[in-house]
Homo-oligomer: A and B are copies of this chain.
Amino acid sequence: MFPFKKNIILDRDSNRNLYLQICDQIIGFIKSGKLPPSTRLPGTRKLAEDLNIHRKTVIAAYDELIAQGWIKTVPAKGTFVSNTLPIIKTQNFSKTINEVYKNDKSNFSFHKRPYLYRKPNTVYKKEILRIDDGVPDNRLAPIDEIAKTYRNITQKTYHKSLLGYRSIYGNDELRNALVSYLNQTRGLHIDKDNILITRGSQMGIYLASQLLLHKKKNIIIGTTNYMTADNTFQEAGGILHQVPVDKNGLDTVAIENVCKNKTIDVVYTTSHHHHPTTVTLSAERRMHLLELAKQYRFAIIEDDYDYDFHYSHAPILPLASNDYSGNVIYIGGFTKIIAPAMRIGYLIAPKDFVDEAARLRRIIDRQGDTLLEQTLAKMIINGDVQRHCNKVLKIYKERRDLFCSLFKEKLGDYFDFDIPNGGMAIWVRLHQKYHWDDVVKIAEQHNLVLNHEWKRYDNDNSRHNGIRIGFASLNKEEAREFVDRMAKVFDSLNEETL
A binding-site residues for B, Cβ under 8 Å: 16, 23-24, 27, 64, 67-70, 84-94, 97, 99-113, 116-118, 121, 135-136, 138-139, 141, 143-144, 146-147, 150-151, 154-155, 160-167, 184-187, 189-191, 193-194, 199-200, 202-203, 205-206, 210-212, 214-215, 228, 231-232, 235, 265-266, 283-284, 286-287, 293-294, 297-299, 313-317, 321-327, 339-343, 349-353, 356, 359-360, 362-372, 382-383, 387, 390-391, 393-394
Q: Are A203 and B106 neighbours in the complex by a CB distance under 8 Å?
A: no
Determine the distance from Cα of A212 to Cα of B368 in the docked complex, in whole angstroms.
25
Report the minimal beta-carbon distance from A177 to chain B, rounded to whole angstroms: 16
Kindly list chain B residues whose C-beta atoms are within 8 Å of the C-beta of A161: 138
Chain B nearest Cβ from A168, distance in angstroms: 9
Across-interface contacts of A266 in B (CB, < 8 A): 108
6 further contact pairs, Cβ within 8 A, besides A90-B187, A103-B350: A68-B391, A108-B297, A110-B299, A138-B160, A165-B341, A231-B363
Of the residues B116, B199, B298, contact of A108 by C-beta under 8 Å = B298
The 8 Å CB contact of A362, one of B68, B87, B228, B294, is B228
Report how many copies the assembly holds.
Answer: 2
Say yes or no: A190-B366 contact (C-beta < 8 A), given A317-B90, A394-B68. no
Q: Which residues does chain B contribute within 8 Å of A184, judged by CB atoms?
A: 88
Alpha-carbon distance A117/B104, docked complex (angstroms):
38
Taking CB atoms, residues of chain B closer than 8 Å to A147 are 150-151, 154-155
- Looking across the interface, which residue of chain B has its beta carbon closest to that of A397? B69
Judge whether A102 and B190 touch: CB under 8 Å.
yes
Q: Is the CB of A351 within 8 A of B94?
A: no
**Chain B residue, CB-CB nearest to A66:** B394
A340 touches B164 (CB 8 A): yes
Contact B97 A321 (CB under 8 A): yes
Can you give 18 A-B contacts (C-beta < 8 A)?
A90-B187, A93-B286, A94-B187, A102-B191, A103-B350, A105-B326, A106-B353, A108-B266, A113-B359, A163-B341, A164-B340, A165-B340, A202-B365, A206-B365, A341-B368, A342-B371, A343-B365, A343-B366
Residues of B within 8 A of A366 (CB): 199-200, 202, 340, 343
Closest to A100 in B: B189
- State whether A94 touches B339 (Cβ < 8 A): no
Could you tell me if B371 and A116 are in contact, using CB atoms closer than 8 angstroms? no
Q: In the bound complex, how far is the Cα of B104 from the Cα of A103, in angstroms?
A: 50
Chain B residues with Cβ under 8 A from A283's Cβ? 91-93
Are B97 and A187 in contact (CB-based, < 8 A)?
Answer: yes
The docked-state distance in angstroms from the alpha carbon of A144 to that of B157 is 11
Residue of B nearest to A341 (CB): B370
Closest to A235 in B: B363
Flag if A94 contacts B322 (CB, 8 Å).
yes
Tell me which residues across on chain B come within 8 A of A108, comparing CB atoms.
Answer: 212, 265-266, 293, 297-299, 326-327
B-chain residues with CB within 8 Å of residue A117 when the two chains form the complex:
359
Q: Please give the distance in Å from A197's CB to the nearest CB on chain B.
A: 12
Contact B106 A363 (CB under 8 A): no
Q: For A143, list chain B residues within 8 Å (CB).
A: 154, 160, 163
| A203 surroundings in chain B (CB, below 8 A) | 364-365
Contacts of A370 in B (CB 8 A): 341
Which residues on the B side are within 8 Å of A146 (C-beta)? Answer: 154
Closest to A24 in B: B383
How near does chain B come to A393, taking the closest CB pair, in angstroms? 7
A237: nearest chain-B partner, CB-CB: B111
Q: Which of A68, A139, A166 has the most CB of B within 10 A?
A: A68
Which residues of B sit under 8 angstroms from A394, Cβ to Cβ?
A: 67-69
